[in-house]
Amino acid sequence: MSLRTPAPPAGREDEPAPKALPVVGRGKARAGRAMLEVAGLSKRYGDVQALDGFDLTARPGEIVGLVGHNGAGKSTFVEIVSGLIRADSGTALIGGEEPAKARGRIGVSPQNIALYPPITVREHLKLFGGLSGLRRKALTDAIDELTAALRLTEFLDRPAGVLSGGQQRRTQAAVAMIHRPALLLLDEPTAGADPETRQALLDAVKLRAADGAAVVYTTHYLTELTELEATLAVAKRGRVVARGTSAQLLEGLPGEVRVTLADGTELHESTTDPTAALMRLLADTGQPVVSVDVRKPDLDDLYRSLAVLDGD
């Protein structure tokens, strides 16, 4: 059994490697000025430094997966960019404007469910669509289109309070997307969601990005970001410590090979070369092998590697 010190991830901030990477994929939509430009944001709550020089950009059509452990500053970042709270220092610009002036261009789906329990899904969408400038047919069309995309059509006339958790999550996202915002901030939109809800939300997010919206998507699930073809921004202690595609960030990180023997013994090795590791593990077993599991590096490995390098 062997454990190796993880290799440094690509794109760490203390390397000359890029903070904002060259744009990958969906080239047309991502060209031009960034929709979201955040530089040096700092925010302190009492003794807690929630943000400490947070930088992030997102271009039209780009999906940025903002990942990090709880308390990394993701939600504070979302609140500042939404214009709900003010940063102690630093700048946040949406299409060149401060958040307070860009409200109609932002759509926010907060981490916690924030719906009116006695009000139906349709009434929610009429309210928030109307407050965001949609009228009559445009509003009706937007409701029809979005609820179809999010598989909410059959629940349109049900009060939010009687919906399941997944349906509430989708309604929450629909409220954020109803006015086709130029910047979509989704704070853990799939937390606790079932596979159907997750897929519906991912599909809707992809559609919005294809329409040209810049999306910042905070999550703990790397697989979602892979499906969204998102670039990653890893937040830690109030700042973005790594930025790039998942392939770039995970490159060089060890995954894990796990072998279970007939007597129940488990052998495992962290490795960047699964084949060689498997050969080594199987060489001296002398027992039948029950199962072999090869796990690719994931977000947890990335977090761990960052923690090791930061001396945590």
Q: What span, in angstroms and rounded, lies between the C-alpha atoms of 21 and 35?
A: 16
Cβ distance to another protein smaller for residue 96 or 117: 117
Least distance CB 303 / another protein (angstroms) = 24
Alpha carbons within 13 A on the beta-carbon side of 174: 33
Least distance CB 173 / another protein (angstroms) = 12
Least distance CB 218 / another protein (angstroms) = 16
Is there binding between residue 156 and another protein (CB under 8 A)? Answer: no
Q: Which residue stretch of 65-73, 75-83, 142-150, 288-296 sits at the interface with another protein (rule: CB under 8 A)?
A: 75-83
Residues from 197 through 256 that contact another protein (CB under 8 A): none
Helix (H) or strand (E) holding 227: helix 222-227
Cβ distance to another protein smaller for residue 218 or 248: 218
Q: What span, in angstroms and rounded, lies between the C-alpha atoms of 78 and 27?
A: 26
Cβ distance to another protein smaller for residue 79 or 301: 79
Query: Among residues 84, 148, 279, 308, which is the contact residue for another protein, using CB under 8 A?
Result: 84
Residues from 131 through 150 that contact another protein (CB under 8 A): 131-133
Helix (H) or strand (E) holding 65: strand 63-67
Least distance CB 231 / another protein (angstroms) = 24
Least distance CB 252 / another protein (angstroms) = 38
Q: What span, in angstroms and rounded, lies between the C-alpha atoms of 101 and 78?
A: 16
Query: Among residues 108, 173, 205, 213, which is the contact residue for another protein, using CB under 8 A?
Result: 108
Q: What is the dihedral of CA 132, 179, 185, 58, to 10 degrees?
A: -110
Is there binding between residue 95 and another protein (CB under 8 A)? Answer: no
Number of residues that bind another protein (CB under 8 A): 27
Query: Among residues 39, 116, 192, 265, which is the contact residue for another protein, using CB under 8 A?
Result: 116
Is there binding between residue 25 and another protein (CB under 8 A)? Answer: no
Q: Which residues contact 57 (CB under 8 A, 6 or more apart)?
A: 20, 34, 36, 37, 38
Cβ distance to another protein smaller for residue 96 or 104: 104
Counted residue by residue, the chain has a size of: 312
Q: Which residues pair with 49 in a beta bridge?
A: 44
Is there binding between residue 114 and another protein (CB under 8 A)? Answer: yes
Q: Which residues contact 65 (CB under 8 A, 6 or more apart)?
A: 217, 218, 219, 222, 224, 225, 228, 230, 231, 232, 233, 246
Determine whether 83 is exposed, middle or buried from the number of CB atoms within 10 Å of its CB (0-12, 13-18, 19+): middle
Is there binding between residue 113 and another protein (CB under 8 A)? Answer: yes
Q: What span, in angstroms and rounded, lies between the C-alpha atoms of 215 and 103?
A: 15
Give contact residues for another protein (rule: CB under 8 A).
45, 79, 82-85, 103-104, 106, 108, 110, 112-119, 123, 127-128, 130-133, 175
